[in-house]
Chain A
Amino acid sequence: DAGITQSPRHKVTETGTPVTLRCHQTENHRYMYWYRQDPGHGLRLIHYSYGVKDTDKGEVSDGYSVSRSKTEDFLLTLESATSSQTSVYFCAISGTGGLAGPQETQYFGPGTRLLVL
């Protein structure tokens, strides 16, 4: 899996509580992404990062924030979890050796299953 880990792998939480998911890479890739996967929707981009402290919104960013203080870590935070945020969350990386471009392959982590009750 190209040296990508996600933690936790499974989480159950209650509505209104804050939740932070972590993505860690050992590949020194420049770009990191957070997606959510829901039946009938495929994967949708939440936020992405193009460098340390450089982030931008994706397609479904409402209710989520991100931070990247180190090249290897990208955190996704749900400030106040809602049931609509029950999903499987995937982290991905791209940008071998700092190269950038839309032709770059993204490599995916194993995912985190989040259930918000």
Chain B
Amino acid sequence: AQSVTQLGSHVSVSEGALVLLRCNYSSSVPPYLFWYVQYPNQGLQLLLKYTSAATLVKGINGFEAEFKKSETSFHLTKPSAHMSDAAEYFCAVSGGATGGSRLTFGEGTQLTVNP
């Protein structure tokens, strides 16, 4: 069984400030971890993913995430927030014995960026 917990359903930052979105996972097998972003009235877009290569993963739009096995965490960061980063962010873990990538999602974190 696998699960994801996103700490904080709403996060608010000022433009130019550090963005930190928290994700902890539980998985009985080595995990593959994903961060997706959803802009209003749109589908989900992949930001980055961890596939057991480098523990520090760089994604699009200046985001990065670090896989920490000892803490079972995969937190998403961006050094300087931009107004266009306002969106909902989802962390997800992948698994499944039959192949494919059956994703289990966290509840999401709504990011607000204040001017």
Contacts and interface: CB of A to CB of B under 8 A. Distances in A.
15 contacts: A31-B100, A42-B105, A43-B92, A45-B104, A58-B102, A90-B44, A101-B99, A102-B94, A102-B95, A102-B99, A102-B100, A102-B102, A103-B52, A105-B46, A106-B103
A104 B98 CA distance: 13
B43 A50 contact: no
A62 interface: no
B100 A104 contact: yes
Interface size grouping (class) on chain B = 20 to 34
Contacts, number: 80
B45 A43 contact: no
Given A108-B43, A108-B45, A110-B43, A45 B102 contact: yes
Given A100-B100, A105-B49, A111 B43 contact: yes
A42 B108 contact: yes
A44 B52 CA distance: 24
Nearest to A107: B46
A30 B99 CA distance: 11
Given A42-B108, A90-B43, A90-B44, A105 B103 contact: no
Interface in B6-20: 9
A101 B96 CA distance: 9
Interface in B75-115: 90, 92, 94-96, 98-108
Contacts of A33: 100, 102-103
A40 B108 CA distance: 8
A90 B90 CA distance: 14
A9 B41 CA distance: 11
B51 interface: yes
Nearest to A111: B43
A110 B100 contact: no
B46 A43 contact: no
A3 B12 CA distance: 33
Contact of B101 (A44, A106, A108, A109): A106
B17 to A, nearest CB: 25
A100 B96 CA distance: 11
Nearest to B36: A108
Ordered nearest first, which 7 A-B pairs have the shortest CB separation? A100-B99, A42-B105, A108-B43, A102-B94, A31-B100, A103-B51, A108-B44
